[in-house]
């Protein structure tokens, strides 16, 4: 009897799951734009780009809190003179903001698949 319940529960869970995995376009996601080297551009330019990417994802309504934390860390590192950390955090903000923008674009239609019918 308990095996029957387990089998029925498994069948129910499988039947209620999504029929196909959602396809998300990640073509727009690129690696960090600037390596942490002495050839990296001015940190102020990189921070400006990170702030612009974050503002874009925030405007789309999908800014991740970790992006705001990394942006704050990048500003603090720049103020402290730790350019390597500032560049690494700014690159992380850019990458995370682009990923959150991809998520925002995907969620335009995908949310409808999650609503029970």
CB hemisphere CA count around 3 (13 angstroms): 0
pLDDT at 39 over 50: no
Domain boundaries, the chain: 42-117
- pLDDT reported for residue 111: 84
Residue with tokens 């991809």: 102
User: Is the model more confident about 87 or about 28?
Assistant: 87
Could you report the per-residue pLDDT of 48-95, keeping only the tens digit for each? 999 999 999 999 888 999 999 999 999 999 999 899 999 999 999 999
Which helix H or strand E contains 22, and what residues bound it?
none
What pLDDT score was predicted for residue 74? 95
Say how many CA atoms lie within 13 Å of 77 toward its Cβ.
18
């Amino acid at each position: 009897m308990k095996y029957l319940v387990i089998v029925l529960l498994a069948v129910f869970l499988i039947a209620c799951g999504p029929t196909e995995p959602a396809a998300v376009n990640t073509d727009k996601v690129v690696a960090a734009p600037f390596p942490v080297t002495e050839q990296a551009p001015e940190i102020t330019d990189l921070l400006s780009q990170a702030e612009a990417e974050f503002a874009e994802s925030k405007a789309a309504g999908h800014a991740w809190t970790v992006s705001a934390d990394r942006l704050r860390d990048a500003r603090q590192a720049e103020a402290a003179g730790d350019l390597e950390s500032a560049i690494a955090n700014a690159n992380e903000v850019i990458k995370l903001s682009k990923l959150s923008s991809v998520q925002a674009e995907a969620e335009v239609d995908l949310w409808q698949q999650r609503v029970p019918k």
